[in-house]
């Protein structure tokens, strides 16, 4: 049986107390930095400190920029598929399904992330635009199963309305200022929403 002298026990106790105190101080400092929102900057630069509300606003703005880019890409996908559908109907069905899943994912992501009060209007515009593209993607899938002239024209109209909503969204200062300008040149070149002179394009042609 190992016996420790009172002096050694006292030394161990002091060491444990120092470790516990250091741990508490570390947690306190970490929590304080998290609360005031310290942003890491390159070496040699002073740290930038933002209030939590400012950090939350900036985080949401960045997410909004990402969502807008996804909607821009979704526009290209829908219009490309309806104007230049793949010859293989299975490939067309798969790609149309992917556009629907993407549109649904973007719409759901927007609905699940509640914005700061100052960006509520931006969130509403995002949700409206995403839902319009979701409707266009759903109509595209309906057209794949039933390629009629009426459904083809419904897709064109759905995309037209979605683009109008997206144009208003792109003009929102939260998405165009603060170094967050986006390239809006994502429309597929040579593709328009005019009804073809020679009739409605059919997949498989």
38 three-state secondary structure: strand
Q: What is the CATH number of the domain that holds 157?
A: 1.20.120
- Does 130 reside within a domain? yes
In a domain, 66, yes or no: yes
Q: Which long-range contacts (CB under 8 A, 24 or more apart) does 97-105 make?
A: 97/141, 99/74, 99/137, 99/140, 99/141, 100/134, 100/137, 100/138, 100/140, 100/141, 102/70, 102/74, 102/77, 102/137, 103/74, 103/130, 103/133, 103/134, 103/136, 103/137, 103/138, 104/134, 104/137
Q: Residue 17 domain-assigned?
A: no
For residue 89, the enclosing domain spans 56-176
Residue 51 lies in a domain: no
pLDDT, position 75? 97
What is the number of domains present in the chain? 1
Examine residue 116 and state whether it is found in any structural domain, yes or no.
yes
Answer yes or no: is 41 within a domain. no
Q: Is the pTM of this model over 0.75?
A: no
pLDDT reported for residue 32: 53
Measured CA to CA, the distance from residue 55 to residue 136 in angstroms comes to 34
* pLDDT averages per 10-residue partition of the chain, 205 residues: 57 62 60 47 53 85 96 96 92 96 97 94 97 97 95 96 96 73 41 52 54
Question: How is residue 39 annotated by DSSP?
Answer: E
Q: Is residue 197 part of a domain?
A: no
Say if 90 falls within a structural domain.
yes
């Amino acid at each position: 049986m190992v016996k420790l002298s009172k002096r050694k026990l006292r030394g161990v106790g002091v060491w444990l107390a120092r470790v516990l105190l250091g741990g508490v101080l570390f947690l306190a400092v970490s929590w304080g930095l998290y609360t005031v929102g310290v942003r890491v900057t390159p070496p040699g630069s002073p740290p930038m400190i933002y209030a939590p509300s400012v950090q939350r606003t900036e985080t949401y703005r960045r997410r909004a920029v990402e969502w807008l880019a996804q909607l821009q890409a979704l526009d290209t996908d829908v219009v490309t598929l309806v104007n230049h559908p793949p010859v293989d109907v299975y490939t067309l069905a798969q790609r149309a399904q992917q556009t629907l899943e993407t549109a649904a994912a973007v719409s759901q992501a927007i609905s699940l992330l509640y914005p700061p009060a100052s960006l509520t209007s931006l969130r509403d515009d995002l949700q409206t635009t995403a839902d319009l593209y979701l409707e266009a993607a759903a109509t595209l899938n309906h057209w794949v199963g039933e390629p009629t002239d009426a459904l083809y024209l419904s897709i064109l109209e759905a995309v037209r309305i979605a683009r109008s909503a997206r144009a208003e969204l792109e003009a929102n200062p939260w998405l165009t200022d603060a170094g967050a300008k986006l390239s809006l040149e994502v429309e597929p070149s040579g593709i328009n929403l005019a009804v073809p002179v020679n009739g409605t394009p059919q997949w498989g042609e």
